[in-house]
Amino acid sequence: MSDDKTSNIWGGRFSEQTDAFVEEFTASVNFDQRMYKHDIAGSRAHARMLNKIGVLSDADLDAILSGLDTVEQEIENGGFNWSVAREDVHMNIESRLTELAGDAGKRLHTGRSRNDQVATDIRLYLRDNIEHIIALIKQLQNGLLDVAEREADSIMPGFTHLQVAQPVTFGHHMMAWYEMLARDASRFADCKARMNVSPLGAAALAGTSYPIDRAMTAAELGFDAPANNSLDAVSDRDFAIEFCAASAILLTHMSRMSEEMVLWSSAQFDFIELPDRYCTGSSIMPQKKNPDVPELVRGKTGRVNGHLVSLLTLMKSQPLAYNKDNQEDKEPLFDTIDTVLGCLRAFADMVPAIECKRDNMLRAAKQGFSTATDLADYLVRKGVAFRDAHEIVGKAVAYGIETGKDLSEMQLDELQQFSEDIGDDVFEVLALEGSVAARNHIGGTAPEQVRAAVKRARG
């Protein structure tokens, strides 16, 4: 970063140089330079439009377009001299362009302001990243479909209150994660659709007196339409808030998945093995294999939630139209993007590599009387009222706790102490395989339904 003291772009009105600290304090170039490609794309579109309406000559347009190509190359090969004195990505690029293209460079900003420029750049930048995020979510979902198919018959305890509730299949559990992610992907797609309008032409806040063609720049930049209102277009950052909200919900989902992976990979559960390449050891305890990646994803949820609150607070009470406050939108937004991409990348690779310890899961499902509801349902089918059946099974469970036996391990006469309606067809119902297979309706845990859900998702 050079600190050359070139006089400011707005120097005309001022009688003293900007204070050196203020220059540093108000600059955003250290973080907004990552939007350089989108800034240059916006400038190309704007220049072509100015040429089409007769404001820029063909020669000026050529000089601008080839100057922008050079600027882009310089940035990409590391030869660009970013300067805090030029405040932000927009003025850095424009200044360099003017060095390269002379007066033509000075004409580029005709009918434009940094206010519509930055609003355009953020949207373009975010749009690209949303596409990337959706692609990674889809990749993770495809991995989940593979695991769900592989583990469609693998029985595990299903929990409520983290207490064994009813047997489910691991495949069914993976499909629950799949559904959560499907809603996340659609939230990002909605966010993208709503923000995909072009602020270009709003200029500082009121529009411009040049006969600009906003539809042309919008189309060239892949926007669906020009934004309807210039004041709104330059000032609102609701699309960034919406993106952070979608990200916070995604990370909340991923932290729940993380929590389950942490629990399941513990010695106490011992349901799964995480790939070694996603875990670390301890410097002191030789036996340890720590699930660092899920733990870190769980932890990163905090910062993404924080960024959402930052942006909400940033926007709150801002009068129309642009205020410098808005420069503070970028770091929370960029860190959210980086965090979401990193977490998704890790999960997309790690989750399909989870190994299930089927025997352990099955053994765990046999503890905790997970087929108690099945026994109650069985009694109802024999004509017992559900509340009475609930009471009967509760007594059988108490007996099981006392004698150390699961319901399926009791003899028929032991079970018949609690109800004469129990016959020897009860054992089918008490077997875990029978319990899961019986939940054979759309959205149920039966292996057949899991396979059908995977098929629907792939179709």
* Residues making contact with ligand ARG (CB under 6 A): 28, 32, 88, 114-115, 118, 322, 324, 326-327
- Write down the least CB distance from residue 122 to ligand ARG, Å: 8
- Of 161, 209, 283, 441, the catalytic one is 161
Q: How many CB atoms lie under 10 A from the CB of residue 452?
A: 15
Closest C-alpha among 70, 115, 113 to residue 93:
70
- Write down the least CB distance from residue 105 to ligand ARG, Å: 19
Closest C-alpha among 133, 101, 112 to residue 39:
112
Longest dimension (CA), the chain: 101
Give 118 or 311: the residue with its C-beta nearer to ligand ARG: 118
In contact, 415 and 389? CB cutoff 8 Å: no
Give 26 or 360: the residue with its C-beta nearer to ligand ARG: 26
- Write down the least CB distance from residue 265 to ligand ARG, Å: 43
Distances (CA, A) of 191 to 106, 130, 138: 35, 9, 17
332 sits in which H/E element: helix 330-350
- Write down the least CB distance from residue 326 to ligand ARG, Å: 5
Give 46 or 114: the residue with its C-beta nearer to ligand ARG: 114
The C-alpha atoms of residue 368 and residue 158 are separated, in whole angstroms, by 11
Asked about 282 being catalytic, the answer comes back as yes
Give 51 or 113: the residue with its C-beta nearer to ligand ARG: 113
Tokens found for residue 142: 């495809």
DSSP secondary structure letter of residue 6:
P
- Write down the least CB distance from residue 234 to ligand ARG, Å: 9
Give 32 or 335: the residue with its C-beta nearer to ligand ARG: 32
Per-residue HEC secondary structure of 24-91 comes to: HHHCCHHHHHHHHHHHHHHHHHHHHHHHHCCCCCHHHHHHHHHHHHHHHHHHHCCCCCCEHHHCCHHH
Residue 168: beta bridge partners? 156
Buried/exposed code over 165-196 (b: 16+ C-beta within 10 A; e: otherwise): bbbbbbbbbbbbbbebbeebbebbeebbeebb
In contact, 278 and 350? CB cutoff 8 Å: yes
Give 205 or 452: the residue with its C-beta nearer to ligand ARG: 205
The C-alpha atoms of residue 376 and residue 386 are separated, in whole angstroms, by 7
The C-alpha atoms of residue 409 and residue 397 are separated, in whole angstroms, by 12
- Of 186, 209, 282, 370, the catalytic one is 282
- Write down the least CB distance from residue 131 to ligand ARG, Å: 23
- Write down the least CB distance from residue 26 to ligand ARG, Å: 8
Give 125 or 188: the residue with its C-beta nearer to ligand ARG: 125
In 3-state terms the chain splits into helix, strand, coil percentages (rounded to 5) of 65, 5, 30
Query: Where do we find the tokens 């100057």?
Result: 67
142 sits in which H/E element: helix 114-150
In contact, 264 and 271? CB cutoff 8 Å: yes
- Write down the least CB distance from residue 325 to ligand ARG, Å: 9
Give 14 or 386: the residue with its C-beta nearer to ligand ARG: 14
- Active-site positions? 161, 282
